[in-house]
Structure 1
Amino acid sequence: MLKVSETEVIRVCLQQIEDALAWGSSENWSNYDFEKLSEAIFEKTKVRLSTTTLKRVWGRIKYDHAPNTATLNTLARFAGYNDWRNFVQTCSKPESAESVSPEVQDTYHKPKRALHLTWAFALVLLLAIAGYFVFQKVLGSGRVDPARFSFKADKVYTEAVPNSVVFTYDASQAKTDSVYIVQTWDISRKTLVPKDQTKHSAIYYYPGYFNARLIVDGEVVKRHVVQITSNGWLGLVEMDDKPFYFTKKDITQPDRIAITEALLKANNFNLKPVAPKVRLFNQRDMGDLTNANFEFETTLRNPYHEGGNTCQPVEVLIQCKDDIIFLPLANPACIGEVKMFAAGKMFDSKFADLSGFGANLSEWTTLRVACKDKNMQIFVNNKKALEFTFPNAPTGIVGLQYRFNGVGEVKGTWFKDAGGRLIDMAP
């Protein structure tokens, strides 16, 4: 029996992931696509594979070693299998000696067996050739002309979440029934829709800037931006099904936005044994503000440091059109597991000094970003934590997101654009 190499098996797994994502060939993926894939894998498996690791696995970065078992297990789980062994067992079906009779074992290497295999191979080849010509006859060259299709999205409400969106599409010229609408980069939002219909509705539970797509016969033919704003500050608790939303009155104090321990307990959320994951959003129209030239400052704290939250991790996300700036903070003792990325540039504390992102988050901590011509400087409590130039093309800034465990408070938040225009995010 022909032995399939590990490289070929890995390629099959990667192809399954590509097919599920429906982002087109990975040869054309940008750094942003790999960042989104990293986030999608983390959302599904709770294991974060860096964009560098993903690029190595996909052959976009030269690397002479095979992926480690942990990486393969994560990819297999993301593809829908229990682990890498389960994937290999499912996708590979070798003829084991234990599963066949002695008579068959005795004749396995005889010419008669080889003749049968030759005829079987010839039959498969003939069927493949016939299928190819049928495909050409019925479906044409396989290329999809985007001009034959239409796609748009209309929000039910101008602002706030939850918010429903009605997609109007025309996919009647599709050659097969493979017509999908993807709400976001998240593959769980990939929905099969009838090609002979024109409407599809979907719900967005979180604010964001989403690149919805119409996929026909395996190709993205149309895109439509869906921006779900938060209508000012929004506070919520992440849940398995859909988030729990606080009212603006609940989270707004004279000088800050806060999700407090008292507020959580009043809504039957306990901090022990595991503190709930809470988020604060401010998603809005920022005008001409871009990530290539801007200033940003915010002051925050996470005073809960008991139980599993001794590291007090905080994540501040500056959300951009089709990009992200991801800034982590943590107790100084826990910076060994810190990762950050900004518009195509990634840093992992295992390979970089990110100690500047450590702070006593029980106290008010000020985070500031100054960026000019894509050269970004990050300051924590007025001390420079990191400086670098990011590679991605400039794009607009559309909002903020804060991630805390348990409680979180934010104040003194603002942006400035290249001309010095102040955008005050105060409550």
Structure 2
Amino acid sequence: MVAENGQDKAACYHQLDRCCLLVSEVFGNPNWEDWTNSDFVRLSHTLFRQTGVQISPNTLKRIFGKIRTGSRYYPQKATRDALAKYSGYTDWEHFVEASPQAESIPDQTIEVPDQPIVAVSVAVSPHPIGPSPQKRSGTWRWLAGLAVIALFIGGMATYRHFLTKPATTGAVQLICKNPIGENPHSANFQIRGLAGVADDPVPYVIEFGDGRRKPIEAEVSTALYNHYYEKPGRYFAVLKQGTLRLDTATIYLPTKGWVATAHMPHDTTRVYPIDVPGLFVGGRRSVGPLAAARAGVDTNRTFFIGFTNTQVTDIDADNFELTTQVVTSPDRAGVRCSQVGVTIYGESSQHTVDIIKPGCVYWAEMQFSDQHKSGSRDDVRFLGADLRRGGTLTLRVVDQRVQLFINGRRVHETSYKMPLKRIYGVTVEFAGVGAVNSFSLKDLKTGKPFDGNF
């Protein structure tokens, strides 16, 4: 087998293995030898969302070597393009060109001169016989040859190490030129401190904080990147090289009171603002399917409705209590797990927790600042609760120590290290239609309430 650029079979598989490693790192679980079927299912969905290419879980298993065949499987061009794009490259050719090629080190033969045979008469000398000067000289030559090889290999490793370091010209910065805007918002990003990435084998990428990402092209020192934020909230865009975080920029979209926004995961339009006069504070506690349909949502498919109130507050994000009474969606077309998610936006990160039907905890996510748990890899059964008939959620944070309560019962306790400082707003999001019957957020030290409680 010969690849498009003339690589032989071994080189093709070498590049494929390297791409699999990058994919697993971006996916967040680099030990793919331990992946189960659910991991490949989740990766298949993720690849489709981010690249538009559908790769079945079984095909992914063959690519990653989990399904053994008579000969090593090599995927078609469109599949390789999708894997490379997910890893941060434009396509497979860009990935191959940017990847360091496997260099062959020429065999080096160390010649040791033949040594004369020295005949020793045991009867002549009463003293112990030591090694001859000629043999000692040959041993030193042999050791010197090994030292030369070790220095050569060490030099190559050092060279490759510095070759793959970021091509920086000082502190690398990701700057948002308009970090605060209305909803929706077109944000302008500029990267400073990179000399260029044309010859760098490790790709650069911007992760915009809303699930989307963009690879960085060559000559980025003055490049401008634009991104469209569709929903209100607080986002943390990250500039990365491979898995290394270089810098973060914050984008903030405040609201005027409570607003409702629907979105569909697999729709080209994706986001649908819903106009609801008097939402929550005026007595309206939910958005029904008819109102969602009038806004353009296909209610026969999977959709989510989020209720957001983003504002700068004086409430300490590391010392607060949030209590809300919610009713999750009944079973309907596109809604199977009836989950509700609560997000508290902080200055440098966020708290978010999903409560979902017990049989669906695989899809649950939880984050408290720098602490993350995912149902796909962690035991989060405590997040399983059926709230279709209503229930109460309480989140209490005291000096960065978190307690989560469901219907008055403490189900989880943890702590985090990176403080969030102040609260910049909240979002309560339902799969399908749901209701928020009450909402209370207050600072535990000052007692200051959130302007939006009801």
State the TM-score, normalizing by the size of structure 2: 0.60
For 1:252 and 1:263, locate their aligned partners in 2 and report how far apart those are by CA, in whole Å.
15
- 1:416–1:161 CA distance, 2 compared to 1 (3 A): same
- The one-letter amino acid of 1:184's match is F
1:173 matched residue in structure 2: 195
1:297 matched residue in structure 2: 323
Asked if the contact 2:173/2:192 (under 8 Å) is kept, the reply is yes
Percentage of identical aligned residues: 17
- The one-letter amino acid of 1:400's match is V
Distance apart, 1:235 and its partner CA? 1.1
Q: 2:55 aligns with which of 76, 82, 85?
A: 82
Which range moves more in the overlay, 407-416 or 308-317? 308-317
Asked if the contact 1:411/1:426 (under 8 Å) is kept, the reply is no
For 2:365 and 2:191, locate their aligned partners in 1 and report how far apart those are by CA, in whole Å.
38
- 1:171–1:260 CA distance, 2 compared to 1 (3 A): same
> What 5-or-longer segments of structure 1 have no aligned partner?
22-36, 39-53, 60-64, 98-121
Which range moves more in the overlay, 275-284 or 342-351? 342-351
- Give the match's secondary structure for 1:70: helix
For 2:63 and 2:414, locate their aligned partners in 1 and report how far apart those are by CA, in whole Å.
44
- The one-letter amino acid of 1:173's match is A
Structure 1 segment 10-409 matched on structure 2, within 5 A = 13-18=20-25, 21=26, 54=29, 58=31, 66-75=34-43, 78=46, 82-83=55-56, 85-87=58-60, 124-126=104-106, 142-145=165-168, 147=170, 149-155=172-178, 158-171=180-193, 173-174=195-196, 176=198, 180=204, 182-185=206-209, 188-193=212-217, 194-195=219-220, 197-215=222-240, 220-239=245-264, 240-241=267-268, 242-247=270-275, 249=277, 251=279, 254-269=282-297, 271-272=299-300, 274=301, 276-287=303-314, 289-291=316-318, 293-302=319-328, 304-307=330-333, 309=335, 312-321=338-347, 323-330=349-356, 334-338=357-361, 339=364, 341-343=366-368, 344=371, 346=373, 354=382, 357-359=385-387, 361-363=388-390, 365-381=391-407, 383-396=408-421, 397-409=423-435
Distance apart, 1:244 and its partner CA? 0.9
Q: Compare relative contact order (CA 8 Å, sep 6+) and give the higher one, 1 or 2.
A: 1
For 2:190 and 2:381, locate their aligned partners in 1 and report how far apart those are by CA, in whole Å.
49
Distance apart, 1:294 and its partner CA? 1.1
- 1:136–1:379 CA distance, 2 compared to 1 (3 A): closer
Aligned length: 346
Greater radius of gyration (CA): 2
For 2:284 and 2:174, locate their aligned partners in 1 and report how far apart those are by CA, in whole Å.
41
Normalized per residue, the structure richer in helix is 1
For 1:270 and 1:400, locate their aligned partners in 2 and report how far apart those are by CA, in whole Å.
26
Distance apart, 1:356 and its partner CA? 7.8
For 1:380 and 1:89, locate their aligned partners in 2 and report how far apart those are by CA, in whole Å.
42
Distance apart, 1:96 and its partner CA? 5.3
Cα RMSD of the aligned pairs, angstroms, is 4.6
> What 5-or-longer segments of structure 2 have no aligned partner?
1-8, 73-101, 108-151
- 1:376–1:171 CA distance, 2 compared to 1 (3 A): closer
For 1:148 and 1:353, locate their aligned partners in 2 and report how far apart those are by CA, in whole Å.
43
- Give the match's secondary structure for 1:286: coil
For 1:347 and 1:188, locate their aligned partners in 2 and report how far apart those are by CA, in whole Å.
19
